Structure 1
Amino acid sequence: MFLGTYTPKLDDKGRLTLPAKFREELAGGLVVSMGQDHSLAVFPKEEFEARTRRAAEISRTNPRARAFIRNLAASAVEQRPDGHGRITLSPAHREYAGLTKECVVIGAVESLEIWDAESWNEYQKQTEEMFSSAADPDLSGLI
């Protein structure tokens, strides 16, 4: 399970050091893909495979489903962290997520998300009240 917030820096070669807490779980391989809200998603390889199988079962006649599957698969890159726990983020991934040197890695239960620090702070400001009030009836029983 991936939990917590971490603030690694992106180096000049586009490498990001994963939090030590998660390296063992990701040592067998991982997949980096475009995520929601212009973040990057990092999945253990097995979790990504399970999700893409479920996504592929969605009707191909649905244009939104086709677009989702295409973007997910086209943006996916398999990797293994190096001996220092680093992964290399492609220029396309860095551009999509607007990554600069200051990054935030958050645990998202079954995956990690990589955000540009400024974008993450802005996202938190925009969604904090919604979380605090749990105004959405579909979410009110979660906490």
Structure 2
Amino acid sequence: MFLGTHTPKLDDKGRLTLPAKFRDALAGGLMITKGQDHCLYAFPRAEFERLARKVADAPFTNESVRAYQRYLFAGTDEQRPDGQGRIAITPELRRYAGLTKECVVIGAITRLEIWDSRAWEAYLEEHEDGYAKAQEEILPGMF
């Protein structure tokens, strides 16, 4: 399970050092793809394969399904962390997420999300008030 917020820096070669606490779970490889809200998703390979099977099971006769499949799979890059826990993020994925040197990596249970630090701050500011409402919708009566 991926949890927490981390602030690694992107180096001049487009490499990002993964948080140490996640490296064992990602040592077998990970799949990086375009996420919603202009961040990147980084899935352990097995989790991405589960997602891919669900997407593949959707009816490809549906235009929206075909578009989603193309967008998801064409934009996915497979990486294996090096000995220092770094992964290379392709120029296209860096452009999509607007990544600069300062990044934020958040744990999102089954995946990591990689954000440009300014974009993450803006996202938090914009959505902070909706957090309490969403909590009540997702977990009614829990709190």
- TM-score range, shorter-chain basis? over 0.9
Alignment of 1:11 with 2:15, yes or no, is no
The alignment partner of 1:134 has SS state of helix
The one-letter code matched in structure 1 to 2:68 is F
Report sequence identity in percent: 56
Give per-residue Cα distances to partners, 1:61-93, cap 9 Å, x unaligned: 222211111111001111110000000000000
- Structure 2 counterpart of 1:2: 2
Q: Cα offset for 1:18?
A: 0.2
Q: How many corresponding residue pairs?
A: 142
- Structure 2 counterpart of 1:131: 131
Q: TM-score, normalised by structure 1?
A: 0.94
The one-letter code matched in structure 1 to 2:73 is A
The one-letter code matched in structure 1 to 2:59 is S
Q: Cα offset for 1:136?
A: 6.5
The one-letter code matched in structure 1 to 2:62 is N
Q: TM-score, normalised by structure 2?
A: 0.94
Distance in 1, Cα, partners of 2:92 & 2:134: 35
Distance in 2, Cα, partners of 1:99 & 1:31: 17
Give per-residue Cα distances to partners, 1:40-72, cap 9 Å, x unaligned: 000000100110110111111222211111111
Listed as ranges, the gaps of 5+ residues in structure 2 are: none
Q: Cα offset for 1:135?
A: 7.1
Distance in 1, Cα, partners of 2:127 & 2:139: 15
Give per-residue Cα distances to partners, 1:101-121, cap 9 Å, x unaligned: 000000010000000000001
Q: Cα offset for 1:17?
A: 0.2
- Structure 1 counterpart of 2:88: 88
Give per-residue Cα distances to partners, 1:5-61, cap 9 Å, x unaligned: 000000000000000000000001111111111100000001001101101111112
Distance in 1, Cα, partners of 2:26 & 2:33: 15
Runs of 4+ that moved beyond 4 A:
none
Listed as ranges, the gaps of 5+ residues in structure 1 are: none
Instruction: Judge which range, 68-77 or 90-99, deviates more.
Output: 68-77
